[in-house]
Amino acid sequence: MTLEQEKERSVRSTSIGAAFVDHKAPWIVRLIGKLFSGVILIPVLATMAASLALMVYGAFETWHFLDGLFFSVDHRLSHDEALLHAIELVDLFLLATVVQVVSLGLYQLYFDQDLELPNWLRIRTLDDLKSKLVGVAVTVLAVYFLGRAVTSAGGIDILYLGGASALVIGALTYFLSKIHSNH
């Protein structure tokens, strides 16, 4: 183990759930902590199940995409349809990733911050979770706009969508800057 890894292990923060169930705390605090942890387990498991369901659905959609691209005799995908489907697949898997990051983040915040995860997935505070969520949401929004722009016939609708996307991305970027300026 490197010196840096040992330093990191020595300054680990405690999860909220662990703080509530500390064996030195009064029995009523421990009871409330166990109930609180049990309730928080519901969104952790639900978001993990939703992420898994989105990934499985994405795998089926990938098969349909490949079938339409290479194997289908009845309806082969056109160039524009293929681009749109590919972008929508990326969007679907990005959404699954967002949901998985939220699930892992909630688990880390409430149960165990000592999970062996890559640095980009480590969540120490609620602001860390918000930053990760906003960052991926910006990417999903950009991919969604790209999908619509590729298949657009032009006109004012794509301009409105682009403007709305830019405003939301700008607002989220401002939100992120405020989170990071507070640290």
Q: What is the pLDDT of residues 128-145, one digit of tens each?
A: 888 888 888 888 888 888
Q: What is the pLDDT of residue 25?
A: 74
Q: What is the pLDDT of residue 20?
A: 58
- Mean pLDDT calculated for residue range 159-178: 92
Which of the two residues, 135 and 1, has the higher pLDDT score?
Answer: 135
CA distance 53 to 49: 6
Q: What is the pLDDT of residue 11?
A: 43
The secondary structure of 5-19, three-state, reads HHHHHHCCCCCHHHH
Q: What is the pLDDT of residue 22?
A: 60
Q: Minimum mean pLDDT among 61-75, 98-112, 140-154: which range?
A: 140-154
- Closest alpha carbon to 151 in 56, 79, 98, 57: 79
Q: What is the pLDDT of residue 169?
A: 93
- Mean pLDDT calculated for residue range 62-84: 88
CA distance 52 to 93: 10
Q: What is the pLDDT of residue 12?
A: 47
Under a CB-based contact definition with an 8 Å cutoff, are residues 144 and 167 in contact? no
Query: What are the residue boundaries of the structural domains of the chain, listed by start?
Result: 10-181
Q: What is the pLDDT of residue 65?
A: 95
User: Helices 27-66 & 79-110, crossing angle to 10 degrees?
Assistant: 170
H-assigned helices in the chain? 3-10, 16-20, 27-66, 79-110, 126-151, 156-181
Give tens-digit pLDDT for 18-71: 655 566 778 787 778 778 778 889 999 999 999 999 999 999 999 999 999 998
- Mean pLDDT calculated for residue range 104-125: 85
Under a CB-based contact definition with an 8 Å cutoff, are residues 123 and 109 in contact? yes
Q: Which of 2-16, 43-57, 118-132, 136-150 has the highest mean pLDDT?
A: 43-57
- Closest alpha carbon to 163 in 145, 143, 137: 145
Judge whether residue 100 has pLDDT over 80: yes
CA distance 113 to 16: 10
pLDDT confidence band for 7 (50 / 70 / 90): very low
Judge whether residue 9 has pLDDT over 70: no
Work out the burial of residue 11: count CB atoms within 10 Å of its CB; fewer than 13 is exposed, 13-18 middle, 19 or more buried.
exposed
User: How far is it between the farthest Cα atoms of the chain?
Assistant: 70
